[in-house]
Structure 1
Amino acid sequence: MPLLLLLLLLPSLSCPHPICEVTKVASQVEMNCENKTLKAPPPDLEAGTTNLHLGENPLGTFSTSSLVHLRDLTQLHLGKSQLTSLQTDGRLPRLETLKLPHNKLRSLPLLGQALPALTILDASFNELTSLSPGALDGLSQLQELYLRGNKLKTLPPRLLAPTPQLKKLNLAENQLRELPPGLLDGLEEPDTLYLQQNWLRAVPEGFFGNHLLPFTFLHDNPWSCDCDNLYFTRWLQRNPNNVYVWKEGVDVKAMTPDVRSVRCINPPPEFVYAYSGEGCPTPSNTAGLDYDNYEDDDEVSTGS
């Protein structure tokens, strides 16, 4: 009798406790394997997994080949995983979301061939110092790119050419000193651009093109108020309600426009939109702005 009782109290060896938590809703199978001290994906992942969370594990190096058996995988979360290397040697044809924030990546591999369906790529708060010219080749479905909080100093001129559907681009909190002319060329309808907290002094002539860009974040840069930056001044005068100040945790649609957040490093004047351009040569009208028909400074909305 004591032996039988002991056997009943012991955990069953035939039904080991799963490492990951599984949630199933309709056709979605989510496996949460976060903070399990894993150094690689567990071998017993369900074949029908659609959303996989592997964050907060000491992965170090990660290869997409370890997940090729997950044919339905659409979301992969690898934040805070001490990643120093990402290898795309396995094709994940249905993956739409790849999140890699708060890691130690110094470069991004070519993703297009392995992840052709990718729509969201988040590599924020890594150690990226540069991007290869073809970094986004093959990502024709990409709609959101987050590179906030890296160490980028320059960008390849044609970086976004392979991503015509891109809507949100976050380059905030980097070390960018200049923007490549034509960076936004070819994008169909970008709506949000984060450039705050860089080292930018000027915007190239014609940079914004004919894009509406209803949400732009440009504050905390050492903007120069001079004749070489007159295009940017005129753009701000024409689009004061499209300029915002970033606030962590606040939805952009709940923010109040504030064109005064874009300040000159060489006052007076204090605000870039208020620069008169007195004495500057008359600019051409080839950059998408009608310089003879912009609002007067005292008519520009400056937010609250």
Structure 2
Amino acid sequence: MKLKAILVFLFLVVGLIYGDEKATKTSKAKESSEICKKCKCNPDEKVINCSKKGLTKMFTVDDWSALEEVGDEYEILRMDHNLLDEIDVPFPTLKSALKIIDFSHNKIKKIVKNAFTNLSYVEEIDLSYNDIPTEALKPNVFEGKYSADEYEPIKTLKILKLSFNLLHNFDDDIFEHVMHLQELHLDNNPLQVIHPSLMSAFSDIPQLTYLNLSRCELKELPDSIFHPFKALKVLDLQGNLFENVPTKALYYAKNVRELYLDDCPIGDLNEKNSFPVMPNLEKLSMTYMQKLRKISHGAFAGLEKLKELRLSNNHHLSSIEDTAFTFKKDDETETIWPPLRKLSLDNNNLTTLTSDVFIKWEEMEELHLHDNPWICDCELNYVLSHLMPIVNRTTPHLIEHIKCAEPPAYKDRQLMELKNEDYHLRCLDKYGRHPENDSALLVALLIGVLLGIPLTFACILIFKRLFGERKGAAKYSRAFYKRADMQDDMHI
């Protein structure tokens, strides 16, 4: 026991000494380094946090040397939300293996040559939310160190964020030093057109798995734009100005698994305005599409592996045909549906949904049908009897928002309530009359008949009483009347 107590005591003493030494080092760093005076240096989390410090200048080589004398290592540098208007000093060679550098939300307009050359471990550079114009972004900005295999590469850089700048085009060699990029964010730049130089630049980053071209004011895409990207898995095109599905361009996105086309003015989907064969697409999002009204035959026929579909907040979408998703494989006659597991049809203008839109509803993991103006007639019986239990199982917190809009007798009734009450919805007739009002009409008619019969007899009796005696007197007087002969008239 004594030995154990001594060991515990020694351990605590060593810990305190080590902690004091570490605290002393950190304190010295703060005293000697301009960086830690202006920023929060946290060696435990390996973060230098200079966010929102009002910085207007980059740190110098001497600033970095003073910090490194202490011996602490850092992996993350946050320079976001400052007032930097340029990166005018290249990073020096550092002992710290900086992996993430965040320059977002500044006012950067210029970047010096070889700005990141000495960062041998950098994996992510964020230059988004700045004022970088096309002219300031040159290939030499991303030059790395000499390599016998590649042209001055920054081999470790995997993520480059250039979102929300003033880029309308790119140098065709802009990515020649960062050929191992896996994520590229170009969204919210005023590209308007994909120029040949950008197409050429794309050919230098064949390992790209994520590409964000959202809200770049693009009306169309070159047919072969995605041809270099054999590894592309996620493609974000939302918020552009496409009036039709960019079918020809998507044809080359063979390995894309997630596609986002939200908030595009794409019109009705049909065989002519449809998706090409995308054999690996598993997730498709098409929300806030104000011109989408109808989804017809063959619209999604090329998406045979689709597992998740978001068709929400399309406020004019009122119709989805049964054959919109079906397809047939070569030399086969059997109709096939995609293996959907998550389906969002909420906040649209849907009034009905037939059972044949999909075939294996029971395999759904999520089903969103809320906030649609459902017409609760016989065509909705399948939704009531089969789909409501699935909704109740997958998204029960939203079930109270699935309500009838018509007919008047069911208006604002929850479909789940009707299901629980074992309702069987009736059909409206071809003239639009509402059969749910038939019972009231028949009762009113029966009451009218029952009241009408005694009233009719009463009217007859009153009529006879008033006019019957006069008519009898006339008959009586005529019985004793005899017309005079012609001879009698002559005697007069």
TM range (shorter): 0.7 to 0.9
Provide the rounded CA distance (Å) in 1 between the counterparts of 2:122 and 2:236: 20
The alignment partner of 2:221 has SS state of: strand
SS at match of 1:31: strand
Task: Note the C-alpha offset of 1:208.
Answer: 3.5
Written as runs of structure 1 = structure 2, the 5 A alignment for 1:124-163 is: 124-131=262-269, 133=271, 135-150=274-289, 151-163=291-303
TM-score, scaled to structure 2: 0.48
Alpha-carbon contact 2:270-2:297 (below 8 Å) kept: no
Which residue, out of 370, 384, 388, partners 1:233? 384
User: 1:235-274 to 2 correspondence within 5 Å?
Assistant: 235-242=386-393, 244=395, 256-266=396-406, 267-269=408-410, 270-273=413-416, 274=418
Q: 1:86 to 1:112 in 2, by over 3 A?
A: closer
Partner-residue secondary structure (3-state), 2:380: helix
Whether the 8 Å CA contact 2:191–2:217 is kept in 1: the answer is: yes
CA distance in 1, matches of 2:156, 2:341: 31
Contact 2:367 2:390 in 1 (8 A): no
CA distance in 2, matches of 1:260, 1:52: 41
Range with greater deviation from structure 2 (65-74 or 160-169): 65-74
Which of residues 239, 245, 250 is equivalent to 1:102? 239
For residue 70 of structure 1, the aligned residue among 200, 205, 214 is 205
Query: Who is 2:174 aligned against?
Result: 44
- Shifted more, 195-204 versus 155-164: the winner is 155-164
Could you say what secondary structure the match of 1:164 adopts? coil
Structure 1 segment 156-175 matched on structure 2, within 5 A: 156-174=296-314, 175=316
- Normalising to structure 1: TM-score of the pair? 0.74
Checking the alignment, whether the CA contact within 8 Å between 2:320 and 2:353 is kept in structure 1 is yes
Q: How far off is 1:27 after superposition?
A: 6.8
CA distance in 2, matches of 1:101, 1:173: 14
The 4+ residue runs of structure 1 with deviation greater than 4 A are 10-14, 25-28, 278-281
Instruction: Give the 3 Å change call, closer, same or farther, for CA 205–164 of structure 1 in structure 2.
Output: same
Bigger RCO of structures 1 and 2 (CA < 8 A, at least 6 apart) = 1
Q: CA deviation at 1:129?
A: 1.5
Deviation digits for residues 215-262 of structure 1 (CA, Å, limit 9, x no counterpart): 111111110011122122112343242453xxxxxxxxxxx4433321
One-letter amino acid of the counterpart of residue 44, structure 1:
I
Query: Please, which of 222, 234, 251 is the counterpart of residue 87 of structure 1?
Result: 222
- Which of 198, 207, 214 does residue 365 from structure 2 map onto? 214
Given that 2:308 and 2:342 are in contact with CA atoms closer than 8 Å, whether structure 1 keeps it comes out as: yes
Q: Which amino acid aligns with 1:123?
A: L
Larger radius of gyration: 2
Task: Check conservation: 1:218, 1:243, Cα contact below 8 A.
Answer: no
In structure 1, distance between residues paired with 2:313 and 2:414: 21
Q: Tell me the secondary structure at the aligned position of residue 383 of structure 2.
A: helix
One-letter identity of the residue aligned with 2:303: T
Segments of structure 2 that go 5 or more residues without pairing to the other structure are: 1-87, 91-110, 125-154, 327-335, 429-492
Q: CA RMSD in A?
A: 3.0
Which residue in the other structure is 2:251 paired with? 113
Q: CA deviation at 1:202?
A: 0.5
Q: Which 5+ residue runs of structure 1 have no aligned equivalent?
A: 1-9, 245-255, 282-304
Structure 1 distance, partners of 2:237, 2:250, is 16
**Matched length:** 259
Letter in 1 for 2:235: L
Give 1:52 shift.
Answer: 0.6
**Greater share of residues in helix:** 2
